[in-house]
Amino acid sequence: MFEIIFDNGGGTTLQTDSGYRHHYDEASQAAEDVKILLAGGDTGNWDGNEADDWDAMEYDYDVERNGGYCWHYEGDIRRILANGILHYSEQFGGNTRVFYETLGVEVED
């Protein structure tokens, strides 16, 4: 299991249940790594694990509500991929758009 966290500064973070954590400046690179995970890959031999640098981010309703971060869990990503469209209400800035466009999803304006 994994989650993607979009931040209001344009960054994208990948966190996995196995303890892998990496922050991406480019949402497209995060999407490429998520493609690997969705195909059954794992992060066991990946470079860039920042787990020693910072603790995992825990979902915080107030932080999300105030516009700091937006969490998309693996199930959310799989649902959006199956639907083929990211609705406007599910978007959170340009990084969300780039991430899902890289995954081949139509992004609603």
DSSP lists the bridge partners of residue 7 as 69
Q: What is the mean pLDDT of the chain?
A: 90
Q: How confident is the model at residue 58 (pLDDT cuts 50, 70, 90)?
A: confident
Is residue 60 very low, low, confident or very high in pLDDT (cuts 50, 70, 90)?
A: confident
Q: Stretch 81-99: mean pLDDT, rounded?
A: 90
The tokens of 15 are what? 């966190």
Pairing of strands 2-7, 69-73: antiparallel
Confidence of residue 44 (pLDDT cuts 50, 70, 90): confident
pLDDT: is 44 or 95 the higher one? 95
Give the number of other Cβ atoms within 10 Å of residue 33's Cβ.
20
* Measured distance CA(24)–CA(27) in Å, rounded: 6
Residue 65: pLDDT over 80: no
Task: Tell me the mean pLDDT in the region 38-49.
Answer: 88
The pLDDT confidence band at residue 77, using thresholds 50, 70 and 90, is: very high
Cα distances from 44 to residues 6, 11, 32, 81, 84, in angstroms, run 23, 23, 16, 25, 29
